[in-house]
Chains A and B, each alone.
Chain A
Amino acid sequence: MSPAAAAATAAHSMTTAAAESHGFLSPTGVEIAFLLVGLVTFGAALVTVTTKQLVHAALWLVVTLGGIAVEYLLLTAEFIAWVQVLIYVGSVVVLLLFGLMLTKAPIGRSPDADSGNRWAALAVAVAAAAALVWVVVDAFRATWIDLGGPAAGSTEATGASLFQNWVLPFEALSVLLLAALVGAIVLSRKAKTEKSSPPVNSRPATGSSPSVPDSRNHPVERNGSVKGTESAEQEGGR
């Protein structure tokens, strides 16, 4: 055997040894947990987009978003995980449920939940999934995440990087949230014969979260305006 071939063989054996040390065919406990939670998450997402009961879709969305929060925890991004739980599971799903009820969504099975082009949609989704999975697996076949050591997404690390390197986008985001707040109020008030009650109701909500339970105590007398302040207060409460 020539020296070059020997070196090549040694290098190859080294790379395979590195792969073996990561346990290519023997997954670690974190990987098994990730796989199981991922299966639950994916199944819940499938039920969310295929169920014919509209309220059940929102409730399965809770399972999906909670599963993704657990995946963040497994990836040691704990701050993102709790933000996910607070904002998505806490407020976005509640907003969606409010929207379902205010648009008089039928309780029980609604046969026209899917439109007529669902088979074309299924073909597009399956084709996209196949292509993307193939590309991703082929690209990152030999890449491992090192989950040891200090957590990459602890609150300290995330906060330090956010307020050292990302201050300007952070402030711009607050302006965007204010614009969304005002926009939701403007969109959901009626164009004519509307008292100024929605802005008055929603103004204290921009300060703190305790006003959110207050808004739940309001009787739903007018769907639109109450909904508008509700969504605005959800955003303000965040």
Chain B
Amino acid sequence: MHLAYPAVLSTLLFCTGLYGVLARRNAILVLMSVEVMLNAVNLNLVAFDVWLSKAAEETLHSGQALTLFTIAIAAAEIGIGLAIVLAVHRNRGTADIDKLRDTAEGHETDGPDSDARTAEQADRTGKAEATA
């Protein structure tokens, strides 16, 4: 098989995930896009490992080992990420990334809902974001 096929496919999948990470507003959809990017990297690793394992005399199968490690780390990442998103949703009532602007620098561009927020609530959300 031509090596360009898996390489180009993983490139396209990576850029699809990149678009999703940049353009999505819901945090869980951003996590999905991150998964797509990680899978693109995995496909690249597997393709190059198969190529090198046939081209070289002796191989460590490092591509496939790294793919397994990436899959495990991605699973851990999705667990922690969802726990963080749920904690933020519980404290803020939203999972939209655009609205989590408490630590933003510069001028205050929050919506009207943040103006009505009490000081105690702001303190809690500040703690939530520090946790996140």
Residues of A within 8 A of B (CB): 22, 27-28, 30-31, 34-35, 38, 41-42, 45-46, 48-49, 54, 57-58, 61, 64-65, 68, 71-72, 74-77, 79-80, 83-84, 87-88, 91-92, 95-96, 98-100, 102-105, 112-118, 120-122, 124-126, 128-129, 132-133, 136-137, 140-141, 143-147, 149, 152-153, 157-158, 161-162, 165-166, 169-170, 173, 176-177, 179-181, 183-184, 187-188, 190, 223-224, 227-228, 231-232, 234-235, 238
Contact = CB atoms under 8 A, between A and B. Distances in A.
Contact of B6 (A61, A75, A79, A146): A75
Given A61-B32, A112-B96, A188-B87, A180 B79 contact: yes
Given A49-B24, A75-B46, A184-B83, A38 B54 contact: no
Interface residue tally on B, bucketed by range: 35 or more
A48 B86 contact: no
B23 A117 contact: yes
Nearest to A178: B76
Contacts, number: 287
B87 A161 contact: no
B116 interface: no
B60 A80 contact: no
Contacts of A30: 1
B104 interface: no
B64 A79 contact: yes
23 contacts: A27-B2, A31-B1, A35-B5, A42-B12, A48-B16, A49-B24, A49-B29, A68-B43, A79-B64, A88-B39, A100-B28, A124-B22, A129-B15, A132-B15, A141-B4, A145-B1, A146-B55, A147-B50, A162-B61, A166-B65, A224-B90, A232-B79, A234-B75
A114 B76 contact: no
A75 B24 CA distance: 32
Residue from B4, B7, B19 with most neighbouring chain A CB atoms (10 Å) = B19
B101 interface: no
